[in-house]
Structures are given as structure tokens and as C-alpha cells.
């Protein structure tokens, strides 16, 4: 069992065997998911589409492809409007 200590600033070192198991490297991002009385830690690699299924919603599932396209359009529009 791996154990780490929490500093007064809320920081901790992920034990070497856990980093190796998750294939984590410096600057990698980690997703923390709370489920009941557990916290699940997952490496966050790739893009927003890799999060598919990690967000619980009521009703229809979230369409991350559509969210990404809408976001791209809005960012592009803000860039164009900024050049006026």
C-alpha cells in the first residue's frame, strides 16, 4: 500500500510505484473523480474527448464533440472581433 503526506499547502508527492503504474511524468495532468466515499485518480492525457463518460448528467449524455466545435467557433469569433 502506497502512502504520502499532505503538506500545509495541500501538496503531496505521488509515490513512485503509483506514478509508474499510471505512467505519469512531470507536467502530466491528473483528473480526480469523487464517487461516494472514494476518490479515483486518472491520468489526463489527450484532449477533451478523452473525458467522455467522466461527467455524470441527468438525461442525455454530454456531446463533447459538439461542445468542442461550439467552443472553437466562439474562440475564432472573439479573435476576429478583436481585430476590428
Q: What are the pLDDT digits (tens) for 56-65?
A: 667 777 777 8
Q: Are 44 and 50 within 8 A, CB to CB?
A: yes
pLDDT value of residue 67: 87
Q: With a threshold of 0.75, does the pTM exceed it?
A: no
Q: Are 43 and 23 within 8 A, CB to CB?
A: yes
Q: What are the pLDDT digits (tens) for 12-39?
A: 999 999 999 999 999 888 988 898 999 9
- Contacts for 12 with CB less than 8 Å, ≥ 6 apart: 4, 5, 6
How far, in Å, are 1, 39, 75, 83 from residue 10 at the CA level?
21, 16, 34, 42
Angle value at C-alpha 34, between 15 and 49, nearest 5 degrees = 90
Amino acid at each position: 500500500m502506497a502512502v504520502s503526506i499532505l503538506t500545509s499547502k495541500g501538496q503531496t508527492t505521488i509515490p513512485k510505484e503509483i506514478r509508474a503504474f499510471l505512467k505519469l511524468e512531470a507536467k502530466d495532468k491528473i483528473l480526480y473523480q469523487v464517487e461516494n466515499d472514494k476518490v479515483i485518480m486518472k491520468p489526463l492525457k489527450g484532449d477533451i474527448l478523452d473525458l467522455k463518460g467522466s461527467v455524470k448528467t441527468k438525461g442525455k449524455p454530454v456531446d463533447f464533440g459538439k461542445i468542442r466545435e461550439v467552443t472553437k467557433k466562439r474562440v475564432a469569433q472573439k479573435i476576429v472581433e478583436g481585430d476590428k
